[in-house]
């Protein structure tokens, strides 16, 4: 009889512990993360960013900052824990000393101004940053780098980096094995989508190349020295449009969101 009583107590304890663990897990997975997007509305392509961010274990509140007053956008950034610089039109060439090439660009000066302000504030806050396609380009420009204005014209022997129909162009990339990108993805090569006619030309002094194509176009870069800086993922491809199981998509998302969670925790500690 005593044996069965002990067994009953142990079983009750086990199920109580299991219930507590389930509740903790549920609370963790239902945690909402506030992440701002430099532009997250306007087309199906822009909506994909939020869909991708919400494909993880976390619920993400995506906050679009495009087409609102700059001061309001900065205020929303300061209340958030992550910044995604999304793809889009060309950065004005005057921003990197090639004003004579304006005719070859599709420009949105309002967005340029917004994103330069966001980058400056994000770096000041040391908030995690995910820079994608145009986002990767403008981040480099904001730190003093420059861009290739038009790959087909300036590099006629280059690979095809943009097709008339989006999501139909792909190419191989090589990844440096001494990079954070390699640690995250576990691969030193892969196939990514491509949809751009511009790319990084001169890399800013504080950055290093960690991925490139067979024609040596820069596909990803990182900080040379990460000390006291925002966590940064900067890629030329669109991870939000890749196969969900591709490590060049899902692994980047997981790590970025982990860094967002860490940032939020630190922010709450400071505020106490």
CB 128 within 8 A of CB 82: yes
User: DSSP characters for 18-54?
Assistant: HHHHHHHHHHHHT-EEEEEES---SSHHHHHHHHHHT
* Calpha distance 9→17 (Å, rounded): 12
Among candidate residues 92, 161, 196, 238, the one labeled active-site is 238
Tokens of 232: 């940064």
Spatial CA neighbour of 87 closest among 145, 142, 38, 150: 38
Residues 100 and 236: beta-carbon distance below 8 Å: no
Beta bridge partners of 192: 171
Q: How far apart are the first and last CA of the chain?
A: 53
Catalytic residue among 219, 222, 240, 264: 240
DSSP string, 120-148: HHHHHHT--EEEETHHHHHHHHHTT--EE
Give the sheet arrangement for strand 207-213, strand by strand: 59-64, 32-37, 82-85, 129-132, 232-235, 218-223, 207-213, 170-175, 189-193
Q: Specify whether 177 is catalytic.
A: no
Which residue in 62, 105, 133, 196 is the catalytic one? 133
Could you confirm whether 238 is annotated as catalytic? yes
Asked about 62 being catalytic, the answer comes back as no
| Structure token digits, residue 160 | 């095809």
CA angle 40, 43, 48 (to 5 degrees): 55
- Determine contact, residues 137/199, Cβ cutoff 8 Å: yes
Q: Which residues does the annotation mark as catalytic?
A: 133, 238, 240
């Amino acid at each position: 009889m005593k044996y069965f009583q002990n067994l009953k107590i142990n079983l009750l304890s086990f199920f109580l512990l299991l219930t507590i663990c389930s509740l903790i897990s549920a609370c963790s997975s239902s945690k909402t993360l506030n992440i701002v997007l430099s532009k997250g509305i306007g087309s199906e392509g822009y909506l994909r960013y939020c869909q991708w961010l919400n494909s993880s274990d976390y619920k993400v509140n995506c906050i679009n900052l495009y087409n609102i007053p700059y001061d309001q956008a900065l205020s929303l950034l300061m209340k958030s824990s992550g910044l995604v610089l999304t793809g889009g039109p060309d950065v004005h060439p005057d921003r990197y000393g090639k004003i004579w090439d304006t005719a070859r660009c599709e420009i949105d000066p309002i967005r340029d101004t917004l994103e330069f302000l966001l980058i400056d504030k994000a770096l000041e806050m040391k908030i995690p940053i995910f820079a994608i396609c145009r986002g990767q380009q403008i981040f480099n420009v904001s730190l003093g780098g420059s861009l290739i204005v038009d790959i087909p014209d300036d590099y006629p022997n280059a690979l095809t980096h943009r097709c008339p129909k989006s999501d139909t162009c792909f190419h191989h990339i090589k990844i440096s094995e001494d990079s954070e990108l390699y640690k995250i993805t576990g691969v030193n090569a892969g196939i990514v989508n491509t949809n751009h006619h511009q790319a990084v030309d001169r890399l800013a002094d504080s950055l290093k190349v960690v991925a490139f194509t067979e024609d040596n176009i820069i596909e990803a870069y990182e900080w040379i020295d990460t000390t006291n800086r925002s966590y940064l993922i900067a890629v030329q491809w669109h991870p939000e449009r890749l196969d969900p199981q591709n490590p060049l998509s899902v692994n980047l998302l997981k790590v970025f969101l982990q860094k967002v969670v860490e940032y939020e925790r630190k922010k709450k500690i400071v505020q106490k």
